[in-house]
Structure 1
Amino acid sequence: MEIKLHDKYFVPFISAQELDFAIANMAKQIEDDFQDETPVFIGVLNGSFMVMSDLMKHYSHPCEVSFVKMASYEGTQSTNEVKQLIGLNQNLEGRSVIIVEDIVDTGNTIEELKHIFKNQGVKHFKIATLFLKPEAYKKDIKLDYVGVRIPNKFIVGFGLDYDGLGRNLKDVYQLSE
């Protein structure tokens, strides 16, 4: 079923069941890697709130949760400029940090986060993303946990938006051709 957000139409792309399966797999991989630690999961707002919520439902080991808010999108295009809006207010020195992203395309946000956390003295810096656009990703930074690799198309739903709309959709939709 096609949906309309603002002036654009979107068609179904990935179901809620497929998303849940991908997130459960990511949670299992992270549990295997950090079974003897209490990692700090840091979600990148606004997009990661649904990914983080479901990831925490599947993650059964002790952990902490925090968020940062950064912005790099206007409309359907990346501005290629990352602006940090809300920072962390906790000491992460010697801690294992797992950044949780909804989507990684250009990698600009990840690059900025890696720079920020390098100065925090973290023990481990890992990146988990529900979606990766391999065609768009241009950085040399390793993505440790990837839920779903997708083509370089604009998507909405499950936390992802088009100018503020669509974040609440439980399925993911792609821009109609």
Structure 2
Amino acid sequence: MNNNLMNVGVLFSELDIKERTKIIAQQINKDYGTNETLVVLIVLHGALIFGADLVRNLEMPTEIETIRIKSYEGTASTGKINLVTPLPTSLAGKHVLIVEDIVDTGRSIHFLLNELAKSEAISLKVCSLLDKPEAHEFPVKADYVGFTISKNFVIGYGLDLNGKYRNLPYIANLTKA
């Protein structure tokens, strides 16, 4: 990373994330039990790493699906949701857990929940690694949240800036230098 372009401050270490992911998985295991199949719908690309780590800690049978939406350019939301891949068609009669990297304005989750409401799933819940309540513009609330953060732009552990920095093992606050 070119330090002339930006400064980062670690918000959550790799260990913090690993421990919190296990706690979230324990709650999901408790809520769903070990008999029901859970469809884990991972929102690409940001939630890929978190989703993979979360699924490894789940005890029930799981099906993994992915969806790709786009709403950001650089550090700002475009205000529009673009569905890059189609929604899975096999969700009827199943429990679905949407795994998101961050609930920022809430626009993406609001959009997905409205679209998935047509799927005839038994249940729809949201698990988000990060939540920015002060940035919410839509009345959405994740059922499971890793960490609550302020209205800053963050990178790492799947979160990016123009496709870069997803590979950082921690979550960092991004400030322009």
Q: TM-score scaled by structure 2?
A: 0.93
Q: Mark the runs of 5 or more structure 2 residues left unpaired by the alignment.
A: none
In the alignment, the residues of structure 2 paired with residue 25 and residue 6 of structure 1 have an alpha-carbon distance, to the nearest angstrom, of 37
Residue 61 of structure 2 corresponds to 62
Q: 2:65·2:88 contact (CA, 8 Å) conserved in 1? A: no
Q: 1:22·1:130 contact (CA, 8 Å) conserved in 2? A: no
In the alignment, the residues of structure 2 paired with residue 7 and residue 163 of structure 1 have an alpha-carbon distance, to the nearest angstrom, of 14
Give CA-to-partner distance per residue, 1:113-152, whole Å, 9 cap, x none.
0111111111100000000001112322231000100111
Displacement of 1:176: 2.8
SS of the equivalent of 2:140 reads: coil
Displacement of 1:172: 1.1
In the alignment, the residues of structure 2 paired with residue 65 and residue 6 of structure 1 have an alpha-carbon distance, to the nearest angstrom, of 40
The percentage of counterpart residues that share the same residue type is: 34
SS of the equivalent of 1:68 reads: strand
Residue 91 of structure 1 corresponds to 90
Which residue type is aligned with residue 158 of structure 2?
G
Displacement of 1:53: 0.9
Which residue type is aligned with residue 130 of structure 2?
F
Cα gap change, 1:135 to 1:89, in 2 (>3 Å): closer
> How many residues are aligned here?
175
In the alignment, the residues of structure 1 paired with residue 95 and residue 88 of structure 2 have an alpha-carbon distance, to the nearest angstrom, of 16
Residue 25 of structure 2 corresponds to 27
Residue 45 of structure 1 corresponds to 44
In the alignment, the residues of structure 1 paired with residue 76 and residue 3 of structure 2 have an alpha-carbon distance, to the nearest angstrom, of 16
Which residue type is aligned with residue 47 of structure 1?
G
Q: 1:103·1:131 contact (CA, 8 Å) conserved in 2? A: yes
Displacement of 1:6: 8.6
SS of the equivalent of 1:93 reads: coil
Cα gap change, 1:32 to 1:5, in 2 (>3 Å): farther
SS of the equivalent of 1:97 reads: strand
In the alignment, the residues of structure 2 paired with residue 4 and residue 24 of structure 1 have an alpha-carbon distance, to the nearest angstrom, of 33
In the alignment, the residues of structure 2 paired with residue 39 and residue 63 of structure 1 have an alpha-carbon distance, to the nearest angstrom, of 5
In the alignment, the residues of structure 2 paired with residue 155 and residue 171 of structure 1 have an alpha-carbon distance, to the nearest angstrom, of 10
SS of the equivalent of 2:135 reads: coil
Which residue type is aligned with residue 153 of structure 1?
N
Residue 115 of structure 2 corresponds to 116
Q: TM-score scaled by structure 1?
A: 0.93
Cα gap change, 1:152 to 1:94, in 2 (>3 Å): same
Give CA-to-partner distance per residue, 1:17-55, whole Å, 9 cap, x none.
001111111111111111141110000001011001110
